[in-house]
Amino acid sequence: MDRPERRIAIASCREASPTATGATPVFTDVDPTTLCVTDQLVMEAVTDRTRAVMPVLFGGRAVNLSGVRKELVGRDISIVEDAAHAFGSRNGARRVGTTGDLTCFSFGPIKNLTCGQGGVVIPRSLTEAATLRRLRMLGVVQSQAERGQTTSYGVEGFGLRYQMSGINATIGLVQLDHFDKAETTRRILWRAYRRALAALDGVRLVDVDVDRSVPHLCQILIPNRDGVHKQMKARGVGVGVHYPPNHLQPAFARWRCDLPATEQVGREVLTLPFHQHLSENDIDQVVTALGQALKTAGAASCARP
């Protein structure tokens, strides 16, 4: 099929990866309870010019597009998962990365599995694997080991210097040995937050499907988020905002559109401290501080003219 303009439907992905390929990004809205796309939102965004759909597996939650996968494949549209948050999570019974989609994991410093800095792309075919190896090595076809045996090498196209260093890979492999523990602890801690937060009025927890996921983030939706953020910082609690909506960023001004749910979430979302080295006592302290912050910020917003 002749599809001169390449369109990629994406859900609030982090950076400009689609535009780096020359494709036109088409942002989609999200389900405000999960911050992920749904079958319906994806199908509303795709057209006969769409080449790929890039769901973000937000907070660690797998995005199950099985209801529309057959149609997407039939229309020659790839699913490229931004699984930066979702290492270890399951889509149904299967781990993310084994479901037949092209999956990209990040192993950055705060991810479920870290190697310091780096990541992994899971290809689905030998051709994709060869292409990825070439892309990560300045377009060179031969591996470093092969190059060591010959006097020349071939550069067969575009490439970047994205190969993982041996040092980073070694850190990742050691972390992998401890991943079972990280997985269990992250679930226990996320559930501890859920129990503690249930006592606070006006706080909605973003659902990560904890029984199947390895949670990466613990996020809440609250009115007066900015006021609460300020109050939490004043109490020394490391809250954050993940993320200001991408479709409103200047870099994407050309493709700006209205995404009401994403924009509402962008105003209300607050990320609570979350990693596998927290204790349940730390979580109680965060939630106590949050209760106080909500009261103070609520009172401050009422006092405004």
Residue 118 CB, shortest distance to ligand PLP, in Å, is: 7
Which residues between 109 and 128 bind ligand PLP (CB under 6 A)? 119
Using CB under 6 A as the binding rule, whether residue 101 contacts ligand PLP is answered as no
DSSP letter assigned to residue 106: E
CB 243 → ligand PLP: shortest distance, Å?
8
To ligand PLP, the closest distance from the beta carbon of 80 in angstroms equals 11
Binding letters toward ligand PLP, positions 27-66, x by CB under 6 A: -----------------------------x----------
Could you tell me which residues come within 8 angstroms of residue 201 by beta carbon, excluding any fewer than 6 positions away? none
CB of 108 to ligand PLP, least distance (A): 4
Task: State which H helix or E strand residue 104 sits in.
Answer: strand 102-106
Q: Does 11 bind ligand PLP (CB under 6 A)?
A: no
| Binding test (CB under 6 A) with ligand PLP, winner from 53, 79, 84, 278 | 84
Residue 106 as a binder of ligand PLP (CB under 6 A): the answer is yes
Least distance to ligand PLP from the beta carbon of 14, Å?
4
Binding mask 13-32 toward ligand PLP (x if CB under 6 A, else -) reads -x------------------
List interacting residues with ligand PLP (CB under 6 A). 14, 56, 82, 84-85, 106, 108, 119
